[in-house]
Structure 1
Amino acid sequence: MPVTRIFSSCRDLQSFLLEEAAPANLIIVPHQRLAYQLWHRQRLENLEAGTQAWEPLPCLTLGAWWQELCRHLWLPEAPASSLTRLIRWRRAMEAGPALEGVQPDLKWAKALDETYEILCRHLLALTDPQSDDPPLVAWRRQVTQIFEALLEEEGLLPPARLPRRLLEALEQEAIRLPGKILTVGLEKPAPIEELWLKAVAARSEVHRLQVRGNPQGVREAYTLPGPEEEMEWVAARLVACHDRDKVPLHRLAVTSPAMDDYSPRFRRVLAELLGPAEQEGRWAYNFSAGPSLGETPLFAAAFLPLRFVSWGERREELVSLFLSPYFRALAEKQADVARWDRLFREQGISQGWERLKAAAVSEFRPDSRLLERLEQALAALAKGRQPLRDWLAGIKVSWERLGFPGELNETEALQYRRLLDLLDDLGQALDQEAVSGPELLEMLSHGAKEILLPGEGVQEAGIQIMGLLEMRGLSFDRVFCLGMNSGCLPASPRSLPLLNPKERSLVLGGTYASQHRFAADLYANLLGCAPHLTLTRPLEVHGEKQVGTPLYPGPWKEAPDWAPILSQPQPAWLLAPAVRAAFTTGGGDKRPDRETGCLCLPLPPELHVTHLQTALSCPSRFLFEVLLNLQDLPDIEAGLPPRERGNFLHQVLARFVQRFRRLLSESGSWQDHEALRILRDSAHELLGPRRDDPHWEAELERWLGQEELRPGLLPALLKLEKERYQEGWRWLAVELPFQGLTKAGWPFSLKGRIDRLDHHLETGEGVIWDYKSGEIPAGTAIFERLEEVQLLCYVAAVKQGLAETAMGLAGVRAGFIGLKSTREKHLRHQDFGKNAAHWEAALSAWEDLVAEVARRLQAGDFRPDPRPAPAKNRQGACEYCCYPLICGFRPEETSARASEEE
């Protein structure tokens, strides 16, 4: 039977191994980090003793030992790689019974493979049906039976079945065992591991070594507001331990039961504080786990040509292809691609190689040789289904034509080698099976996620950062453990949807009790990792209050000397360039006096009405947008840009009114079917070239509807227009231009275009209409606050006789036609019901406001002054401004107080 021995610290355990183990023995370690630490101590002790040469202690993980035994056995089956198994699981699902909600894809294949490994590790039945199996579990058993048959037919052995084969070989005396075997970190072995160790113990001497640390090793247990503050505080403490307490960096460690959550952010924290992991041959820190191959820029770039071809020739992939530093043949055009991208966005070209190429050629005339090289690379990646060997040949041709991967550093060279290994592995897994481009990309993505790369730094130097599982058996001087909240340690039960309740109760981590036992063993080992242990935890995560782990019974205290690093930073954080700059740069909070900062820029002699609206809303925005012509790069948005959608809606309505007005003058009566026909024809003609875009097709359906099933926006508007026609209103003009609008004291004139002008047959009065596809402004914004001035401009232009068609009207007013939706509050004619006196008063106030703003602009005063100003949670005129980073505007405290009083 195995002999169990318990140590109070990991250092004592390592000392025991160094004294008792011999080259003929075998040490089973939980991970290779412990092996490296043992070899390092062995080397130092031998050097100190004057030994000239020595044999390193034989250290292997249990899985590595099994693999080594397998190689010596020369089994008839070949090991099945991860990708090979996923492909066979997918085939088994396709051949097996169908189950509602289950698709034979790699996601389900991975879930089945993980479940298969769990069942094998816990010696649970794989295919034997159970009377109480839910449908999903019964389906799993049937698919598993097909999967095993496929592997057997091809002579493949899944790794989860290897321990069983080794046990058979052990019983047949086909395995030679070491004289003594010492295991570390196997406090709770899985049933198959326990069975193996007992079988080995019957034939060899087995010692189980465990660590149960002293709870007194926890010297400090602190709380901080959140994870970010927790990491910043711990980073500062690490620096203090090294500088003040003289602890060597490699004797400092940081761990967490939730290291997957902490690691990406902690990388950024250490990079801000200490810089890169390696500087001039010296190492500051080391992360045990690096990214997966699928998370690296090299992998993302490698298959950009394939993604472009397989995902609909999208603009995003084409632009990324040019911007990537890994394609040398395209590097010369990197400076131009931003202009190309802007052109594509402005013209609404989201996909299609021919359309994208035509737009770039017509506007910029790029090098024909470059385009030819790119077309050759894309042509090599034929669309449709084909065997993997053809795909791989096409990928290599595209890489060659585009100069991939270029010059690589040492880290990237390793990633590239692993990428080539992945392609070889995939070739063996797929054999002659034909796949499509999207399927190939999915397989590559799954395979790349399984390939873990080493983290920054080296294990022999720098602060060591690793997960709690990796801490088993390791020895340090100081250890900081982050995230010690309940829910992290112990964690919630594992999600095992493909197991039935009985199976889950037998699986490690399948229940709360099992997770608690597992967490207790991890915590006991953590207590032995260092004589000085500091626990930390955040009080709040994602807005939710947290409680500490139940494994630590002691009190939690608020972390000392903690404060936000930009208010009262700890001394260590003054090493960070950003923090140091914040405290050493003076004058950054000063704002120019009203008399300073003037710009001598002449105003144009003529402004468009929309430009005047911009000047009245904010002089600073007028400067950037109108005078300097600084344009915002259009955002990548799902759907259609609101401005573009509104422009086309205006054009459809203008074309309809012009055509139907002629018919009305000829027939003298409103004909519903003709009105609807002309409306539909106008919409289809204008949107014809764009109907390949599904967004425009959906917009067209929103406009026109589906007959009686779902009335559209424009047919609903026709009903309102018909009512107005019957009341005596007629369309007088559409898209009516004007120019030369000016008043006393204005240094410029105005021009614009009126959407529509109606007049009444009996009264002779006129109404100016402005189409609004968004919210209709309130009347107070027009008549009192003067924030919306377009209608006032149009009324003034008509009154001055600047619009020829509008001559001879008996009074004129203006309003909006809401076109946001078919709701009653959104689809309506809003003329505000104001009389002539109201319009005259508003026009007089508007003239004075324009003159005042014009004087300010002429004086060169373009400081930000938004109208309406931001107040409380309302952004006012700043809401849709794209210049907040250069205008420097901040709401004054007085404005905030005034808005609160209101």
Structure 2
Amino acid sequence: MPITLVKGSSILASFDRIAEERLKAGRYSSFVVVVPTRRRIRELNRLFIRQTPGAAAGAFPLFTLGTLVHAVAAANLPARKPVPLHVQAVLMQRAIDAVADGLVYFSVSKGSGRKGLSTGTFQKLASVVNGLREAGVGVEELRTEVEANELGEGRKLAEVLAIMEAYEAQLGNSFADPALEMRGVLKVFASEAPQSVWWNAFPSKPDVLFIDGFDEFARPEFELLEWLATVPGLTVVLNFDFHPANEDLFFHLEDNYHSFSGIGFRPPDRPSRAHVENSPGEHEQPAALFHEHVRRNLFRHDDTIERIDAREFVTLIEAADREAEVDTIARIIKARVVEKPEADLSRICVATAHSGAYTPLFREAFARYGIPANITDRYRLDASPLVVGILALGAVVENNFRRRDLLRALTSPYVRPGVDAANLESVSAGLRITAGARKWEERIESRLSVVENQLRTVDDELELSLLEREARMLRKGLDDFRILKEMLAPLSGEHTPAEFHRKLLDLLDKAGVESSLRPHRGPSTGPTGIPGERWEDAERDSRAFATFLSVLEDVVRLRESQNPGPAPLFDYLADLKGAVSLSRYNIRQRYGYGVYVTSIEETRGLSFDTMFIAGLVDGEFPAPYQSEVFLSVRRMAEKRKRFLFQERYLFYQASTNFKRYLYLTYPAAEGNAKELVTSSFVNALKAIADVREWKKKDGAEDQERVRILHGIWSRDELLRRVSEVMWREVSRPDHPAAKEVIKKLGHPIHVEQSRAGEHTEKAYEGFILDGVPEDMKETIAARRGGVYSVSQLETYAQCPFKFFAQRLLKLTPIEEVEEGITPLEKGNLLHQIFFEFFTRWRDEKQPPLRECSEVEFKEATDLLLSMARARLDLIHINAPLWELDKEELLGGPGRPGVMREFLENERRRPDMLAPRYFEASFGGRSGRSDAKLSSSDPVKIGDVLVRGKIDRIDVDDTSGLWIALDYKTGKIPPAKGMWRGEQLQLPVYALAIRELRNRARERAGAGPAGAFYLAKEDEVEIVPQLVPKEVVKNLGLTKKGVSPEEYESIVDGAGTFIRDYVTAIAEGRFPLTSSEKVKYVCKGCDYRMMCRIWVSHQPGEGGEGKEGEE
């Protein structure tokens, strides 16, 4: 129970009695109440309204210390404009600007203001300056501290002093922040009769002032109360939690206690009637005894302390992780509601020290269990997605359509200008657009022209659909960008404050910000049937928007009063960013609705029937001390010493504000990895009290725990339990609630059982012909006569389902954005460069590279490098590693580059093979292909038509040997893939060369061979996977070849595999890949998130790499 100190009449010491009596008598203005939080004011307002039934009531005399000071200042001091925290931020950054030239420790360039500091540094600096001033440390005291400094901190403290002086200069004679108001009030009390000051503020001359629920007071606050205690006829009653015998808990309050005693505050002469009237009821008596025991003994190191048995009403719960912790809390609450449906949920509180990690978990869990929740966190305005989106719109104009600003704005769900944000993101990523309105338009137009030209020549079905899709995306992107450019144009240039205000509001209207909030306003019924289930989201967004508009108006008014002329957008955005960085907002509390979920700090002065304290792990509660590095060493030491006691006191308050039950919960681990340490506060409580414990793994479980943790408390759980029983087919659950879902679960369970091994529902395992209409069956069957590319056949070989998703459903995944050049782009680039070089070298009848003189070889090298540079110049990439990527290809200091290494390898080859044909296509349009050998007709392998393009064919005219070479810039496919029918490229090329050679009436020699040509820095070589061993030896290669028998087996086997694949496609067989292929097929697959096999067969680390080894 809090102690009471009085200066004045002890008869007036009972807050509850005096308030009730005077409210009933209509004497609302005869007393004043000061409490620490606005939330407590709202609670008292509701209490006072209930105590004045049937009568009209004016504003009750309820204040925080800040609002009390403001009321006294307004009645006794010259008028000044009050400065809220967000306006203080703007003035603070202007103060930093004003002294920027003299700053060394904070190293801010002139004119940069807050923008020259990180957000964290600015917030910390503003907090330090405001904290010093609110603690009563003025300019002169800080100057004395700077001059007396002996620890080498002079530079730092001098700059803090300079910023404080500049800030107070910004306040001038027009503005007043809370610290300046307090300073003025103390001066007026010292210069005038205290009674006159008090009566000026309160003409009704109240005779009692209650100060209730505080823990400690700053020096100016104590001085204010000291002056108030001298007002004749005014009794000051001070209620605060303190016990003089427990310094391990109340150490930080001892100074206050002794200071008040020193100025005449004493306990009341006799116990007030309120203590008797408010004595706990029978069911609250055990909790009250526990509160007093904790107050006297918590954190004390004394072996003689007698333990209290609190097992009936205090429970300590260990959960596996945070999700399990929140789930357990929800179950306990749901069980209480089921037991007592009439229970008032608003009398249950769930509090955490750091709500950020828990709020979304509670919101989701309470919705799942059907528990109404009143989640009332205090949020940072600069972290609101809505505000981030609004500021990003301004940054788009300020930074000339920088891509990250544009996407930050457009990906906000509250910015709806009618454009396709995802499309703009994909287009800009593909074109490497980083900034510049002109570059946006030029690059999109240029790429659109290229794509439209490619559409005239491409023949691959997938490539054609991709190009058509890209063309649509580019046209849409260009149109959308122009819409955005026109919409944002009014913000360009300079504006007066009024103009900026009007134009920004117009922009927000056009961007659909306010309209995006309208459909969500007010309570709604969610899928669980709870009214207001998603109310918190809508309320939070609306509150954030309302707070932002208020901040905007204050910033505009400030600039009108100081700098009314035109200013650039940069200045307005700097003011706004500074203002929102220190702004906070709350979700409005809905009284009487749902479980109260908040931070522990917000529960001060409140009382509940049931209290949950969650997240009791070291590092969170108590939190680690964060040094105020901008203070002096002495002040830092003082703050560090008080910090732990403040955390202890907060735990004490939270663990004693319940009347019936207290639950303390903590997670044992963070997910499946990091183990967490239980809070030392829990151990301190267990040292003085016996509590009931629920351990994560506890064999001795009590009945209540079993009932709560293993009972069915949500619809989701009911579905899961019924599914498990039906899967085992032990029995059908005989429960009224289960009958509703059994019908719905029967079919999906039957399907899953089929997939698990019964195979009775083949249509759900990829064999789709039985489940599709006749016209679709005909369409699928017609694919038997289609033309297939090698990549299509390889896709089916690896995973038929992927072929189905990619080729039949045409599902195109959104590719991840890569800042540098992608492996695919690098491969295409080398193909183009080598094609241009070899065709030109051949057509100009230049000598083979191995026969070139030094001069001729230098000409070849220069030609290849010039072609490579020309191609690279067409690529627009603004990424840190792009220059290194170019150097890898072209060479640089100490590195020859891939181009030179490639030509050197060509020159060193001992064989008589000569590059003859390049990009030899079969079954495709002309495009980039070799006219000397290419054919528009596909190649027939068995009865299947196949198309493709061979990167290069080398020919030995003496032996008649032809070798298909496929360029690779990455990993070489494993040779074993040819035996499994998964790697068809080289066998198909060998078969294709036979037919192309016949069509061109070229000399037929040995069976065509196939090899990969690896073109990587420091690794340029030919990998002869399908080359006879004797040929490999003649080529001077170290890699193994194949025997004639192996060659024939691989090539003939490829024809069999291809026939089987096409037959399966035409018969509608598209099952998932086999389990033995998962480790190298599924890893990195674009469709893995929609494939069930990925869930049950996670590839091991390194599996893919091992599969790729030769």
Q: Same fold (TM over 0.5)?
A: yes
CA deviations 1:235-292 (Å, max 9, x no partner) are: 22222223314431111111122223322332232233337xxxxxxxx321222544
Q: Distance in 2 between matches of 1:761 and 1:839?
A: 21
Equivalent of 2:1082 in 855, 878, 891: 878
Q: Distance in 2 between matches of 1:121 and 1:805?
A: 96
Distance 1:594 1:369, change over 3 A: closer
Distance 1:811 1:389, change over 3 A: farther
Matches within 5 A, 1:263-302: 263-274=359-370, 284-289=372-377, 291-302=379-390
Could you say what secondary structure the match of 1:535 adopts?
strand
Could you say what secondary structure the match of 2:30 adopts?
coil
Equivalent of 2:637 in 479, 484, 505: 505
Counterpart of 1:557 in structure 2 is: 694
Displacement of 1:160 in angstroms is 3.5
Q: Distance in 2 between matches of 1:561 and 1:611?
A: 61
Displacement of 1:834 in angstroms is 0.4
Q: Distance in 2 between matches of 1:461 and 1:230?
A: 23
Distance 1:470 1:372, change over 3 A: closer
Q: Distance in 1 between matches of 2:1000 and 2:158?
A: 78
Displacement of 1:132 in angstroms is 0.9
CA deviations 1:699-723 (Å, max 9, x no partner) are: 7524445632554333333333332
Counterpart of 1:519 in structure 2 is: 647
Query: What fraction of aligned residue pairs are identical, expressed as a percent?
Result: 19
Equivalent of 1:734 in 918, 935, 941: 918
Could you say what secondary structure the match of 1:685 adopts?
helix
Displacement of 1:577 in angstroms is 9.6
Look up the equivalent residue of 2:486 and give its one-letter code: Q
Q: Distance in 2 between matches of 1:894 and 1:239?
A: 37
CA deviations 1:206-262 (Å, max 9, x no partner) are: 333124734466611111111111111112222222331443111111112222332
Could you say what secondary structure the match of 1:777 adopts?
coil
Matched, 1:664 2:773: no
Counterpart of 1:398 in structure 2 is: 507
Counterpart of 1:279 in structure 2 is: none
The answer to whether the Cα contact below 8 Å between 1:88 and 1:150 also exists between their aligned partners in 2 is no
Counterpart of 1:632 in structure 2 is: 813
Distance 1:814 1:143, change over 3 A: farther
Could you say what secondary structure the match of 1:206 adopts?
strand
The answer to whether the Cα contact below 8 Å between 2:959 and 2:1006 also exists between their aligned partners in 1 is yes
Equivalent of 2:617 in 461, 482, 485: 485
Displacement of 1:540 in angstroms is 1.3
Look up the equivalent residue of 1:39 and give its one-letter code: N
Distance 1:813 1:440, change over 3 A: farther
Displacement of 1:148 in angstroms is 3.8
Look up the equivalent residue of 2:685 and give its one-letter code: Y
CA deviations 1:629-659 (Å, max 9, x no partner) are: 2222333444444323322232123223333
Matched, 1:189 2:217: yes
Distance 1:754 1:149, change over 3 A: same
Q: Distance in 1 between matches of 2:813 and 2:572?
A: 38
Q: Distance in 1 between matches of 2:490 and 2:108?
A: 34
Look up the equivalent residue of 1:289 and give its one-letter code: D
The answer to whether the Cα contact below 8 Å between 1:14 and 1:38 also exists between their aligned partners in 2 is no
Could you say what secondary structure the match of 1:552 adopts?
helix
Counterpart of 2:75 in structure 1 is: 72
Q: Which has the higher contact order (CA 8 A, sep 6+)?
A: 1
* Stretch deviating more after TM superposition (386-395 or 59-68): 386-395
Distance 1:658 1:581, change over 3 A: farther
Could you say what secondary structure the match of 1:188 adopts?
coil
Counterpart of 1:281 in structure 2 is: none
CA deviations 1:662-703 (Å, max 9, x no partner) are: 473399435454334223321232243433654795375244
The answer to whether the Cα contact below 8 Å between 2:373 and 2:593 also exists between their aligned partners in 1 is yes
Q: Distance in 1 between matches of 2:703 and 2:1007?
A: 71
Matched, 1:830 2:1023: yes
The answer to whether the Cα contact below 8 Å between 1:574 and 1:580 also exists between their aligned partners in 2 is no
Equivalent of 1:758 in 954, 972, 983: 954
Displacement of 1:527 in angstroms is 3.2
Matched, 1:97 2:103: yes
Equivalent of 1:111 in 108, 121, 124: 124
Distance 1:401 1:458, change over 3 A: closer
Matches within 5 A, 1:54-453: 57-75=60-78, 78-80=81-83, 81-92=87-98, 94-99=100-105, 104-105=116-117, 107=119, 108-124=121-137, 125-127=141-143, 128-129=145-146, 130-134=149-153, 137-138=156-157, 140-141=159-160, 143-144=162-163, 147-148=166-167, 150-151=169-170, 155-173=174-192, 175-176=197-198, 179-203=207-231, 205-211=235-241, 213-214=291-292, 215=294, 219-245=314-340, 246-274=342-370, 284-289=372-377, 291-303=379-391, 305-313=393-401, 330-331=417-418, 352-355=439-442, 358=445, 374-382=484-492, 391-392=500-501, 394-399=503-508, 405-406=514-515, 408-409=517-518, 410=521, 411=539, 415-430=544-559, 431-432=562-563, 441=573, 443-453=575-585
Q: Distance in 1 between matches of 2:392 and 2:976?
A: 53
Distance 1:606 1:111, change over 3 A: same
What is the aligned-residue RMSD (CA, Å)? 4.2
Matches within 5 A, 1:751-830: 751-759=947-955, 765-782=961-978, 784-802=979-997, 804=1000, 807-808=1003-1004, 810=1006, 812-820=1008-1016, 822=1017, 824=1018, 826-830=1019-1023
CA deviations 1:321-340 (Å, max 9, x no partner) are: 77877677x54x66xx7667
Distance 1:892 1:527, change over 3 A: closer
Equivalent of 1:714 in 892, 899, 910: 899
Look up the equivalent residue of 1:732 and give its one-letter code: R
CA deviations 1:28-80 (Å, max 9, x no partner) are: 21212222222323333443xxx635566522111222222232233465444
Could you say what secondary structure the match of 1:881 adopts?
coil
Q: Distance in 2 between matches of 1:633 and 1:771?
A: 26
CA deviations 1:389-445 (Å, max 9, x no partner) are: 665454345346556533753556654443332222223455549876577556534
Displacement of 1:751 in angstroms is 1.4
Counterpart of 2:675 in structure 1 is: 544
Q: Distance in 1 between matches of 2:135 and 2:630?
A: 15
CA deviations 1:91-132 (Å, max 9, x no partner) are: 145232334776633623322111112323445553442221
Q: Distance in 2 between matches of 1:731 and 1:296?
A: 62
Q: Distance in 2 between matches of 1:893 and 1:682?
A: 46
Counterpart of 2:50 in structure 1 is: 44
* Stretch deviating more after TM superposition (443-452 or 568-577): 568-577
TM-score when normalising by structure 1: 0.83
The answer to whether the Cα contact below 8 Å between 2:960 and 2:1003 also exists between their aligned partners in 1 is no
Counterpart of 1:598 in structure 2 is: 768
The answer to whether the Cα contact below 8 Å between 2:424 and 2:477 also exists between their aligned partners in 1 is no
Look up the equivalent residue of 1:186 and give its one-letter code: F
Q: Distance in 2 between matches of 1:395 and 1:778?
A: 60
Displacement of 1:461 in angstroms is 2.7
Counterpart of 1:647 in structure 2 is: 828
Look up the equivalent residue of 1:713 and give its one-letter code: V
TM-score when normalising by structure 2: 0.69
The answer to whether the Cα contact below 8 Å between 1:619 and 1:865 also exists between their aligned partners in 2 is yes
Q: Which runs of 5+ in 2 are unaligned?
A: 7-12, 23-27, 110-115, 200-205, 243-290, 295-307, 453-470, 522-538, 725-740, 770-776, 924-936, 1025-1038
The answer to whether the Cα contact below 8 Å between 1:606 and 1:750 also exists between their aligned partners in 2 is yes
Q: Which runs of 5+ in 1 are unaligned?
A: 6-11, 276-283
Distance 1:586 1:318, change over 3 A: farther
Equivalent of 2:657 in 522, 525, 529: 529
Look up the equivalent residue of 2:343 and give its one-letter code: V
The answer to whether the Cα contact below 8 Å between 2:600 and 2:650 also exists between their aligned partners in 1 is yes
Q: Distance in 2 between matches of 1:56 and 1:894?
A: 65
Question: Which protein is bigger by CA-based radius of gyration?
Answer: 2
Could you say what secondary structure the match of 2:972 adopts?
coil
Distance 1:453 1:764, change over 3 A: same
Q: Distance in 2 between matches of 1:893 and 1:668?
A: 55
Distance 1:628 1:786, change over 3 A: same
Displacement of 1:196 in angstroms is 3.3
Could you say what secondary structure the match of 1:690 adopts?
coil
